[in-house]
Amino acid sequence: MSDKMVELRNIAKSFDGMQVLGDISLGVGNGEFVSIVGPSGSGKSTVLRLLTQSLRPDSGSVLFNGAPLEEAPHSFAFMPQRDALMPWRRIIDNAALGLEVKGKSRRAARAAVAPLFERFGLAGFEHHYPSELSGGMRQRAALLRTVVQTQDMLLLDEPFGALDALTRTQIQEWLQGMWTEHRWTALLITHDVREAVFLSDRIYVLSARPARIIREFRVPLPRPRSLADLGSPAAQAIETEILQTLLHPLEQDDLRPVGLKSASCSELKS
């Protein structure tokens, strides 16, 4: 029996004869924040789409609490790269959308999301339209819509990629605080190694196509974290090591899940 909430075992996936995922095995434990970093086009979003079952693997298995995903009751809340708010719906109705889709009346859905606006930094903007909000506020609204849906796990596909650097840093700090409060099980896809280090318990590094896991890192920073922690020797060491892994994947001769060679980063127990 797996101790992971979700697990991908020896997944391969091709599109039109092009192998995208070579042999992917990874897992996310209950209450764990895990990130996947990798080169553009390596198949990171494909991994998420295997979890949402919009794609099926060619081989290998996707498990939820140890059972085949298609047979196991589960619910994922998915947040895409773009905020995907509906421009004609007020923010409160955008935030409530997931609950409405699940069958709640608009009134009940509004009542469920309204108390959260303050914590998401959106108080006073309930009745505004998306075009009246900044990019960071729209992303927070999209995140609010994602997390209010009762779900086992958050799937975040580069949610902050389109934000400017300052807004992005603010929302990362905010999300880190929210995650520390709620301990959602989360899988984040990102290109941003610092973001992955700041937010994650563990990080998988994917190779270029056909993708495999080149390295797996455990982030040794205590929680709650602040941005200042990113300047610590442990954070700097792991960030450098992940970048080295991405830039020089062929030098990674040890393909087992490993900790870092440097003393500042903890060994992974497989």
Give the footprint of ligand ATP on this chain (CB under 6 A): 15-16, 20, 38, 40-46
Smallest separation (angstroms) from ligand ATP to the CB of 75? 22
Q: Residue 55 or residue 116: which is nearer to ligand ATP going by CB?
A: 55
DSSP string, the chain: --SEEEEEEEEEEEETTEEEEEEEEEEEETT-EEEEE--TTSSHHHHHHHHTTSS--SEEEEEETTEETTTS---EEEE-SS----TTS-HHHHHTHHHHHTT--HHHHHHHHGGGTTTTT-TT-TTS-GGGS-HHHHHHHHHHHHHHS--SEEEEESTTTTS-HHHHHHHHHHHHHHHHHH--EEEEE-S-HHHHHHH-SEEEEEPSSSEEEEEEEE----SS--GGGGGSHHHHHHHHHHHHHHH-GGG----S----SSTTSPPPP-
Q: Residue 96 or residue 214: which is nearer to ligand ATP going by CB?
A: 214
Smallest separation (angstroms) from ligand ATP to the CB of 17? 10
Q: Residue 112 or residue 208: which is nearer to ligand ATP going by CB?
A: 208
Smallest separation (angstroms) from ligand ATP to the CB of 13? 8
Q: Residue 213 or residue 235: which is nearer to ligand ATP going by CB?
A: 213
Smallest separation (angstroms) from ligand ATP to the CB of 213? 13
Q: Residue 44 or residue 168: which is nearer to ligand ATP going by CB?
A: 44
Smallest separation (angstroms) from ligand ATP to the CB of 158? 6
As a whole number of angstroms, the distance between CA 78 and CA 76 comes to: 6
Q: Residue 43 or residue 98: which is nearer to ligand ATP going by CB?
A: 43
- List, in order, residues 6 or more apart from 1 with CB less than 8 Å away: 66
Smallest separation (angstroms) from ligand ATP to the CB of 59? 17
